[in-house]
């Protein structure tokens, strides 16, 4: 189906099902229970999962397949966001103008940076991309403020031209009248509440398309060529092939994914902050990819979800919440437990994520995906390793890549 073999089709269908059911899956605890703190099924976070998933999928096409480690992909994220917000300011709030343009501008930007940076390889390439991105960030924060609105972030003002603005048009981002921030259904089932948000499903559909496209790239002769570059570029050169056009194409494609993700961020929330271009943002997508499982299909998405979950859920657990949880303990013990726990939650959420990076990379060299496979392996005792389904299609193990 859709040019995929049976295994891939099944894989894609599972991904589609998981994506569409996210508002339910991420809301496992009833409202008002003390564990409701861990629910992640609210629109903003679900949107971020989908969007950073797209960002990481695209990054994986470059890093996972070719092995070229870009430390400047946040620049494309920022360019995508700025493009979309500028379209709001000039035309109107319909995202149909901004999003395609975001892909185009970030693609052009990526072409320029990629063309220069790909003249070098290894760490020299990484530093070149880093340098371009840091220049973009530093300038966006200061000198380019007329274009980027600097520190505050680019936003729409009531006196902006918005030449296409209709009389009854919604005053926030929408797709032909479907307003992104509205929920089309809030289901209360017993004590559970599930929020079905327009913006999330808009991003989710795009994420599924992006995932499908990336799956096709992984399986295509082009994808095979990219892997050959990773394996041994010198040998490839000896066969008379010039690798550069292929890597450049991969760089531009992943830049366009990043631009799309950036555009979607602005489509969900009409503000584009300069921090989106900072090296920490570039580093974040690198971490997402490695954490989830470099070169796997599902890994980067998992990594993205993992990091965003910690950032948004763990940072909100404060002393008051801890006292509620551990209130049943005797006073002295409660104090001690809360004192220890405070290192890891609230303002200590960075510490927890740092520790988890280390634990994952020490014990699961293949990232979270490998953890999943190990878990799956436990349930399928008796089967030998070769029999275990490989839904993640680790490139090293895929015998069917050339189909």
By the rule CB under 8 A, 236 interacts with another protein: no
Q: Is 58 in the site for another protein (CB under 8 A)?
A: no
- Verify binding: residue 339, another protein, rule CB under 8 A: no
- Give the interface segment with another protein, choosing from 15-23, 82-90, 94-102, 345-353 (CB under 8 A): 345-353
Of the pair 275, 334, the CB lying nearest another protein is at 275
* β-pair partners for 194: 187
Task: Verify binding: residue 184, another protein, rule CB under 8 A.
Answer: yes
> In the complex, what is the shortest distance from the CB of residue 10 to another protein, in angstroms, rounded to a whole number?
29
Q: Which of residues 61-80 bind another protein (CB under 8 A)?
A: 63, 67, 69
Residue among 174, 75, 91 nearest 129 (CA): 75
Give the one residue of 287, 297, 301, 307 binding another protein; rule: CB under 8 A.
Answer: 287
Number of H helices, E strands in the chain: 17, 6
Using CB under 8 A as the binding rule, whether residue 122 contacts another protein is answered as yes
Among 14, 18, 135, 333, binds another protein (CB under 8 A): 135
Phi, psi for 376 (deg, rounded to 5): -60, -40
Give the nearest distance from C-beta 245 to another protein in angstroms: 19
Strand ranges for 143-277 from DSSP E: 154-155, 174-175, 178-179, 183-189, 192-197, 271-272
Q: Please give the span between the terminal C-alpha atoms of the chain, in angstroms, as a whole number.
A: 14
Please identify which residue in 1, 21, 112, 187 interacts with another protein, judged by CB under 8 A: 187
Establish if 21 lies at the interface with another protein (CB under 8 A).
no
* 275 near another protein (CB under 8 A): yes
**CB closer to another protein, 12 vs 128:** 128
Task: Identify which of residues 98 and 293 has a Cβ nearer to another protein in the complex.
Answer: 293
Q: Residue 226's CB: how many other CB atoms inside 10 A?
A: 27
* 153, two tokens: 């972030």
Question: Total residues at the site for another protein (CB under 8 A)?
Answer: 94
Q: Rounded CA gap, 322 and 337, in Å? A: 9
Task: In angstroms, give the least distance from the CB of 400 to another protein.
Answer: 24
Residue of the chain from 146, 190, 221, 332 that contacts another protein (CB under 8 A): 190
Residue (5 or 280) nearer to another protein, CB: 280
Binding residues for another protein restricted to 141-160, rule: CB under 8 A? 141-145, 150-153, 155, 157-159
Q: Does 48 bind another protein (CB under 8 A)?
A: yes
Q: Could you say which of 18, 186, 388, 402 contacts another protein (CB under 8 A)?
A: 186
The footprint of another protein on residues 74-113 (CB under 8 A) is none
Helices 198-219 and 43-60, interaxial angle, to 10°?
20
Non-local CB neighbours of 107 within 8 Å, separated by 6+ positions: 252, 255, 256, 259
**Could you give the string, one character per residue 199-228, with x where binding to another protein holds by CB under 8 A and - elsewhere?**
------------------------------
Instruction: Give exposure, 306-323, as e/b (b: 16+ Cβ within 10 Å).
Output: bbbbbbbbbbebeeebbe
CA distances from 21 to 14, 240, 302 (A): 11, 48, 16
Compare residues 11 and 125 and give the one whose CB is closer to another protein.
Answer: 125
179 contributes a contact to another protein by CB under 8 A: yes
Task: Report long-range pairs for 157-162 (Cβ below 8 Å, ≥24 apart).
Answer: 157/89, 160/88, 160/89, 160/90, 161/89, 161/90, 162/88, 162/89, 162/90, 162/91, 162/92, 162/93
Check binding of 395 to another protein (CB under 8 A): no
Q: Which of 107, 349, 368, 392 binds another protein (CB under 8 A)?
A: 349
Phi-psi region of 2 (alpha: psi -120 to 50; beta: other; left: phi over 0): left
Q: Is 355 in the site for another protein (CB under 8 A)?
A: yes
Rounded Cα distance between 215 and 207, Å, is: 12
Separation between Cα atoms, residue 352 and residue 314, nearest integer Å: 9
Q: Which stretch binds another protein (CB under 8 A): 89-97, 122-130, 200-208, 250-258?
A: 122-130
Q: How many CB atoms lie within 10 A of CB 44?
A: 15
Q: Is there binding between residue 120 and another protein (CB under 8 A)? A: yes
Asked if residue 271 binds another protein (CB under 8 A), the reply is yes
Judged by CB under 8 A, the residue of 57, 62, 290, 302 near another protein is 290
């Amino acid at each position: 189906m859709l040019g995929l073999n049976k295994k891939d089709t099944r894989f894609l269908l599972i991904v589609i099902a998981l994506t569409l059911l996210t508002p339910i899956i991420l809301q496992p605890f009833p409202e008002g229970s003390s564990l409701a703190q861990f629910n992640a099924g609210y629109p903003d976070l679900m949107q971020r999962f989908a969007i950073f998933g797209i960002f990481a999928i695209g990054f994986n096409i470059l890093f996972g397949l070719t092995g070229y480690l870009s430390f400047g992909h946040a620049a494309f994220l920022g360019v995508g966001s700025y493009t979309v917000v500028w379209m709001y300011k000039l035309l109107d709030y319909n995202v149909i103008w901004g999003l395609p343009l975001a892909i185009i501008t970030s693609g052009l930007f990526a072409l320029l940076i990629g063309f220069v940076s790909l003249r070098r390889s290894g760490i020299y390439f990484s530093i070149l991309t880093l340098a371009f991105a840091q220049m973009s960030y530093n300038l966006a924060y200061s000198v380019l403020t007329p274009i980027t609105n600097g520190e505050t972030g680019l936003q729409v003002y009531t006196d902006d031209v918005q030449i296409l603005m209709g009389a009854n048009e919604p005053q926030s981002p929408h797709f032909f009248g479907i307003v992104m921030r509205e929920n089309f259904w809030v289901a209360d089932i017993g004590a559970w509440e599930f929020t079905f948000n327009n913006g999330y499903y808009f991003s989710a559909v795009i994420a599924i398309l992006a995932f499908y496209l990336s799956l096709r790239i992984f399986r295509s002769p082009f994808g095979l060529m990219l892997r050959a570059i990773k394996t041994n570029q010198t040998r490839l050169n000896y066969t008379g092939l010039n690798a550069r056009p292929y890597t450049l194409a991969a760089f531009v494609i992943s830049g366009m994914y990043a631009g799309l993700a950036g555009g979607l961020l602005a489509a969900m929330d009409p503000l584009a902050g300069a921090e989106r271009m900072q090296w920490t943002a570039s580093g974040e997508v690198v971490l997402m990819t490695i954490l989830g499982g470099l070169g796997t299909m599902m890994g980067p998405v998992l990594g993205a979800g993992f990091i965003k979950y910690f950032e948004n859920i763990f940072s909100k657990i404060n002393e008051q919440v801890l006292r509620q949880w551990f209130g049943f303990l005797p006073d002295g013990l409660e104090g001690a437990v809360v004192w220890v726990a405070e290192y890891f939650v609230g303002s200590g959420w960075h510490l927890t994520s740092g520790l988890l990076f280390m634990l994952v990379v020490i014990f699961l060299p293949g990232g979270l995906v490998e953890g999943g496979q190990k878990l799956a392996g436990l349930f399928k005792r008796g089967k030998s390793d070769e029999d275990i389904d490989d839904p993640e299609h680790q490139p090293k193990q895929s015998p069917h890549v050339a189909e």
